[in-house]
Amino acid sequence: MLDLINPYAYAVRIRNWLYDKNFIKPCKLPVPVLSVGNLSVGGSGKSSLVRYMGGLLKDLHVCILSRGYGRRTKGTILASERGRLLVSWEDAGDEPYMLAKLLPWASVVVDENRCRGAFFALERLKPDIFILDDGFQHRRIHRDLNILLLKKKDLSDRLFPFGRLREPLSGMERADIIILSYADIENFDWRHPTKPTLKMVRENWRVVRSSDGKVFENFKETSFIAFAGLGDNSQFFKSLERLGIKTKEKISLPDHYSYKDFKLKEDEFYITTLKDAIKLKPSENLFYLDFDVRVDGLEEILLSKIRN
């Protein structure tokens, strides 16, 4: 019933209908495009999945295309070229900058107009393949593989602004693959009736010191001030609890927080996310929580799509 009085719902359905009926034609690129996205506002593990896919495709010149949320620039920005960082996180956006640091064999381009950014990359970088970060609703670019990350709570959520969904659940019909995500993955056994449905598992959790990048083994003997500026900070705090990491204080900040006025006390230990840590000066008492992800079956699908 809420959708009947929700102008956003009508706008989303009209826009999708225009694309579905080919009234708006997406731009087509001469190299494969893999899109990663979700249905809801906020975190679902998109950057973690892009990082994982970038690792699977490290023998190719991968170009990651991102909008660059939270950046202070506009237009086309070449954030990195095969690992060579060319701008600050403020100019690239925190997530593209993080991916540029994590994937030194890849290049990263940010542009609110992804088609424009893609053609810039084709001319300047000559990539073998594009990964479109947060691209499920960005239908301006044709994609050869449309990957949708789905959280358990998405299935019972409502459309924005009454809930956190960017579009109705019917939008998942555009996906080629659905990947179940997030911390409740063990109890999430939903399957789409017709589409491949995989699981993204988080593993190899570790606490890393920001000053030297070394794993901190004695984290269970330390009490931290925890802080994060994500789309869904609660998942970070739950992860700390699940891993037995003690916290004396939890600070929840807005997504893409700039940390301009955030000060660390020298006599305290702090723990945050990798995305937040890159925006702060490395320090002996600043740590971040890192992990790997694994999606069984995805590598075979990616390689098959690229070969074909």
**pLDDT, tens digit, 9 for 90 and up, residues 175-194:** 999 999 875 566 777 888 89
pLDDT computed for residue 254 by the predictor: 92
**Second CATH level (architecture) for the domain 2-200+294-307:** 3-Layer(aba) Sandwich (3.40)
- Residue 186: φ, ψ to 5°: -60, -30
- Residue 135: φ, ψ to 5°: -110, 5
Q: Write down the domain spans for the chain.
A: 2-200+294-307, 203-292
In tens, the pLDDT along 104-128 reads 999 999 999 999 999 999 999 999 9
> Encoding tokens for residue 308?
């074909």
Bridge partners, residue 84, by sequence:
81
Which letter, b or e, does each residue of 96-106 get, where b requires 16 or more Cβ atoms within 10 Å of its Cβ?
A: bbbbbbbbeeb
pLDDT of 1 > 60? The answer is no
Cα–Cα distance measured from residue 290 to residue 292, given in angstroms and rounded to the nearest whole number: 7
| Of 66, 47, 176, 162, residue with least CA distance to 111 | 66
Q: How many alpha carbons lie under 13 Å from residue 294 in its C-beta half-sphere?
A: 6
Interior angle at CA 196, CA 169 and CA 50, nearest 5: 80
In tens, the pLDDT along 71-98 reads 999 999 999 999 899 999 999 999 999 9
Cα–Cα distance measured from residue 110 to residue 113, given in angstroms and rounded to the nearest whole number: 9
Confidence of residue 2 (pLDDT cuts 50, 70, 90): low
> Encoding tokens for residue 241?
């609890």
In tens, the pLDDT along 24-61 reads 999 999 999 999 999 998 778 999 999 999 999 999 99
* Helices (H) then strands (E): counts for the chain: 8, 14
Q: Which amino acid is at 12?
A: V
Instruction: Note whether 155 and 182 are within 8 A (CB).
Output: no
Bridge partners, residue 226, by sequence:
250, 271
> Encoding tokens for residue 92?
């690239």
pLDDT computed for residue 4 by the predictor: 64
Q: How many alpha carbons lie under 13 Å from residue 49 in its C-beta half-sphere?
A: 33
